[in-house]
Structure 1
Amino acid sequence: MKPRIGVYLSEPVAARLAVAAQCPGTTKSAIIEAALAHFFEPDHDVEASSVDRQLNALNQNLEQLHQELRIVSEAVALQARFLLAVTPPLAAADQPAACTLGLARFDEFAAQVTRRAHLGTSLIKETIERVNSADPAHLATQPVMQKGPTRFTHQEAKGVGATVAGNKAECSPVARGAGVDREPDTRADRTAAGTILRPLLASWRARGQRSRAFSTDWLLVLRVFLPFVSAYYLSFLFRTINATIAAPLIYEFGLGADDLGLLTSIYFLTFAAAQIPIGILVDRYGPRKIQSVVLMAAAAGAALFAISDNFWLLLLGRALIGFGASAALTAGLKAVVLWFPAEQVPLLNGLMIMLGSFGAVTATLPAEHLLGSIGWRGLFELLAIASVGCALAIFLLVPTGTWSFTVKGTTIGLRMIYSDPRFWRLAPLSATCIGTAWALQGLWAAQWFADVEGLDRSELLRNLFFMAIASSAGALVLGIAAQKLRRHGIGPRPLLGLVAVLFFIAQLAVILRVPLSSSVPWMIVAACGAATVLSYAILADFFPKELAGRATAALNVFHIGCAFLIQYLVGFLIQYWTPQQGHYPEVAYQIAFAVNLVVQLAAWFWFIIPVPLRGGGAGSKRPL
């Protein structure tokens, strides 16, 4: 006769035990007895390290539980405080406005919960101390809310706001005025409490599903992030490849400086012209469809470029390439916002720009090795095939999604942006500096190395390679610097002004032939081309979030358009000098670069003038 004992098992273990007991000739008692016998065998030793790990895990769970209980207690305490706030009675016509005000109060409420949880300030303890040290009249006169620096995320606030706005039971007490002598509606209280704690409960569920979310994130990286990064990589490669193939094109087609400048800069012209229409289409139809279709135009342009036998076919192919590459960054950033959590968006945006800029690296030494074996025509045939493959990958691999893409108020939004004086204070400096960096890196730096520095082909490409690396690193360094300085109360605008000064010094060093290694100032020029990080951050301070995308596209039109003008006009000025032994003289480049530098300096002075603005399309009146 075996003794009978009762054992309590967790639900997962009990479920596994029930499944194992279904085998013929096996019972639950036999399985448990065998497990205990194995546990008590002499050679079965529970290591102390295993016990320590379990104790550490238990301690971490207790600490997490303590933190979560503290958040819950603060949320309940603040909920009671908000429900007991006295508001005057309102007429029925004023109730919608009161509901809107209630949403704003809820935002402050959420900020207070987060702030108190982080700082460890207990509202319950504070209230008890105040009651013990003050009279009721003093307590009633205390402010209901205090400003706090921390808020819930935009998605959480938006979701909670929609719930509150759609529930009349929650909105009516605020509109009617809930006095302290009225008993609150318990059903409304339960609904409000559930609404308030929903973000917290969602975070708990998310922590409980970390392993599954981790695998899902990596799947999204493979199916969404990498295909769009590949498209942006090809865009960067197409942008800078002409600097490497300029010599073969000049030899085969007899191009002058003005022809070469036009051929290279036409990419920027079609790129800029397509920016705003592409942005609207991406918002309406989604990045998957638009990017996969538009990238086929780049493939067609590369194929046409490869088979061209005259200058005009080359020009048309290059124009198609610019149009096909115009959606790369816009669609990629839109895809990141749609498919990835909000907290991962800044990191993924930075990684996309950094990885995409390696296309400029590929356009130097790696492209030169291919030129030696397959020629520039074969190189563009490969690029055409790669563009088709990338378009198919985006169309077939990227999930379709279930979003409803709509565009509202596009014309009004652009009018607000282009009528804002702050935009016109920023745009000239950003466009002239960044456009100059792109124009020089994409063509005229290579021509300077060949004509003025007298470098051979290998040294020239090595310098272009270092410039491409500097451009990639510049985006990362400027992004980190802007984030660090913002923590100390310094916005991105002063940093952009300092970067512009550094950019001017680097160009002046090139023009005056300062006795330095020729790659040093040119690397600074390339790195300053990544100052778009700062320009777009400044725009985010000027305009509300719903206009941020259109504001970025509006400024990008100036960046690309200015790159086109500078790349063409530099060649237009240089061609007035007669080449000597196939090379334009040093003074031609110096004068062309100096004229462009004067324009940038004028834009810089316009940028730093502290003139107060008398109105803005989308923001408050404040000086730049």
Structure 2
Amino acid sequence: MLAWSVWGLAALLYLIGFYQRVAPAVITDRLMEDFALGAAALGNLSAFYFYSYVAMQIPTGVIADRWGPRRLLIAGATVAAGGTALFALADSLELASFGRLLVGAAVAVAFVSMLKLATRWFPPRQFALASGLALLCGVVGGVIAGVPLRIAVEAIGWRSVMLVSAAATALLAALIWWRVRDDPADAGWRSYAPPVPAGGHAPILRGVLQVLALRNTWILLLTPIGVAGGVLAFAGLWGVPYLRQVHGLDTRSAAAITSALLIAWALGGPLLGAASERIGRRKPLYVATTAAALAGWALIVFVPLSLPLLVVALVLTGFVSGNLIIGFAFAKESAPAHLVGAASGVCNMGPLLGGMLLQPGVGWILDRHWQGESVAGARIYDAAAYQAGFGLLVAAVAVSLMLIVFARETHCRQAA
């Protein structure tokens, strides 16, 4: 139980990070009204989280090695609390954007810290379980940022909700300080830390450059930009206003549908990853599911579906988009064993790059097609505007499909 409580506190920061990632989706109307934003500016405000999150991916691994996960988690939770409070109290777009930037950089430390704690606190056979539960924790955060968040916003306002979120994150920082230790040996327990290789680790920059010289690295970095980015752009920002303005749903119902998309995405990851292991190949299933995601988004964007069929299409598209788990394994196996950390760090940036690029990209296109209608200071976009904006998602997934065709198969074996 001690090991799970230590790991669980790191998982809670990851949950908060996922919550912060998709929270803007259910408060788009309030943000547009308070800051007088159009779609492009709103997309950029939301994407400030991704800007710093992506930038922190490789440095986080280096810092975790130098500081240890405990100090990194305490710093991350503390800065995330401050950034959330700044976002809640901001009286200008610049301050709100800086708050989102701080939050993204801070919560970026959670996933790497979780994995580092898992390698020390759990026996190797439980590492896969801990990794799967990490994804589950993230999706729970995304679901909390759906209907429950909207109910709270309607009750006390978005700024008050974000202040409560900041206080909860500050409390988590205190709990991490009290409970978490880098290694079980620090608390007198058995450690499962793997032995450090003779001669230590290779220089970080050299490892990254060697990984970037591999063709598969670039393919597996760029492919998730479309596939995972489509999910993050829709469920993380534009799906709720689309369902409200085009399909006439209330915000709670729209948030429930985007939460269903996220849940399907989370379920698809481990199931598709296991299927890939079973057949002993990565590329065929990655290509097939990317093609299915392309067909799903094309159907959603360009075919006038009834609401029940739209929900089914979104859930199925979310499920096949979980193939990013195949991509993570694919990337790890494509590099020699001593470069696995660098390969994983580089390729893990792909999904976040998708959110960073596609959220403001869709917003920019929406503003180009705005007909001038507003309600309470929030812009209203018609079906044609959303079709044009979401057409960017279809194009991005099409590029992903073209790229993954050129990847080299690993046959589920580590490169020599």
Deviation at 1:606, TM superposition (A): 2.8
CA offset digits 1:143-179 (Å, max 9, x no partner):
xxxxxxxxxxxxxxxxxxxxxxxxxxxxxxxxxxxxx
Q: 1:410 aligns with which of 180, 186, 204?
A: 204
SS of residue paired to 2:91? coil
Paired letter, 2:283: R
Question: How do 1:169-568 residues align onto structure 2 when only pairs under 5 Å count?
Answer: 218-222=1-5, 224-401=6-183, 407-486=201-280, 491-516=281-306, 517=308, 518-568=310-360
CA offset digits 1:115-166 (Å, max 9, x no partner):
xxxxxxxxxxxxxxxxxxxxxxxxxxxxxxxxxxxxxxxxxxxxxxxxxxxx
**Separation in 2, partners of 1:528, 1:253:** 36
Farther-moved stretch of structure 1 (377-386 vs 592-601): 592-601
Deviation at 1:397, TM superposition (A): 0.6
Paired letter, 2:265: S
**Separation in 2, partners of 1:293, 1:407:** 25
- Unaligned 5+ runs, structure 2: 186-192, 375-379
Deviation at 1:392, TM superposition (A): 1.9
Paired letter, 2:319: A
Deviation at 1:557, TM superposition (A): 2.1
Residue 47 of structure 1 aligns with which residue? none
Alpha-carbon RMSD = 2.2
Deviation at 1:536, TM superposition (A): 0.9
Do 1:298 and 1:321's aligned partners in 2 also have CA atoms closer than 8 Å? Answer: yes
Deviation at 1:478, TM superposition (A): 2.2
**Separation in 2, partners of 1:389, 1:474:** 33
Tell me the percent identity: 25
Deviation at 1:594, TM superposition (A): 2.0
Farther-moved stretch of structure 1 (304-313 vs 597-606): 597-606
Do 1:354 and 1:476's aligned partners in 2 also have CA atoms closer than 8 Å? Answer: no
CA offset digits 1:169-214 (Å, max 9, x no partner):
xxxxxxxxxxxxxxxxxxxxxxxxxxxxxxxxxxxxxxxxxxxxxx
Deviation at 1:450, TM superposition (A): 1.9
**Separation in 2, partners of 1:611, 1:535:** 12
**Separation in 1, partners of 2:141, 2:268:** 15
For this pair of structures, how many residues does the alignment match? Answer: 394
SS of residue paired to 2:257? helix
Residue 366 of structure 2 aligns with which residue? 574
Paired letter, 2:229: G
Deviation at 1:387, TM superposition (A): 1.2
**Separation in 1, partners of 2:282, 2:69:** 29
Do 1:437 and 1:529's aligned partners in 2 also have CA atoms closer than 8 Å? Answer: yes
Question: How do 1:75-90 residues align onto structure 2 when only pairs under 5 Å count?
Answer: none
Do 2:362 and 2:392's aligned partners in 1 also have CA atoms closer than 8 Å? Answer: no
Do 1:471 and 1:530's aligned partners in 2 also have CA atoms closer than 8 Å? Answer: yes
CA offset digits 1:79-104 (Å, max 9, x no partner):
xxxxxxxxxxxxxxxxxxxxxxxxxx
Paired letter, 2:357: L
Residue 600 of structure 1 aligns with which residue? 397
Do 1:294 and 1:324's aligned partners in 2 also have CA atoms closer than 8 Å? Answer: yes
Deviation at 1:256, TM superposition (A): 0.5
Paired letter, 2:46: T
Do 2:89 and 2:159's aligned partners in 1 also have CA atoms closer than 8 Å? Answer: yes
**Separation in 1, partners of 2:273, 2:172:** 28
CA offset digits 1:297-329 (Å, max 9, x no partner):
111110001111121111111111111111111
1:589 lines up with 2:386 in the alignment: yes
SS of residue paired to 2:247? coil
Do 2:78 and 2:173's aligned partners in 1 also have CA atoms closer than 8 Å? Answer: yes
Residue 16 of structure 1 aligns with which residue? none
Paired letter, 1:545: A
Do 2:117 and 2:182's aligned partners in 1 also have CA atoms closer than 8 Å? Answer: no
**Separation in 2, partners of 1:423, 1:219:** 37
Q: 1:380 to 1:330 in 2, by over 3 A?
A: same
Do 1:507 and 1:597's aligned partners in 2 also have CA atoms closer than 8 Å? Answer: yes
Q: 1:610 to 1:550 in 2, by over 3 A?
A: closer
Q: 1:407 to 1:423 in 2, by over 3 A?
A: same
Do 2:235 and 2:259's aligned partners in 1 also have CA atoms closer than 8 Å? Answer: no
Do 1:266 and 1:322's aligned partners in 2 also have CA atoms closer than 8 Å? Answer: yes
Deviation at 1:453, TM superposition (A): 1.9
Q: 1:408 to 1:389 in 2, by over 3 A?
A: farther
Q: 1:280 to 1:417 in 2, by over 3 A?
A: same
Do 1:271 and 1:326's aligned partners in 2 also have CA atoms closer than 8 Å? Answer: yes
CA offset digits 1:215-264 (Å, max 9, x no partner):
xxx22112x22111111110110001000111111122221001110011
Structure 2 length normalisation: TM-score? Answer: 0.89
- Unaligned 5+ runs, structure 1: 1-217
Do 1:358 and 1:472's aligned partners in 2 also have CA atoms closer than 8 Å? Answer: no
**Separation in 2, partners of 1:338, 1:493:** 32
**Separation in 2, partners of 1:407, 1:394:** 28
**Separation in 1, partners of 2:201, 2:371:** 52
Q: 1:562 to 1:458 in 2, by over 3 A?
A: closer
**Separation in 2, partners of 1:526, 1:288:** 34
Residue 110 of structure 1 aligns with which residue? none
**Separation in 1, partners of 2:407, 2:334:** 16
**Separation in 2, partners of 1:595, 1:605:** 16
**Separation in 2, partners of 1:528, 1:580:** 37
Larger Rg: 1
Deviation at 1:619, TM superposition (A): 4.6
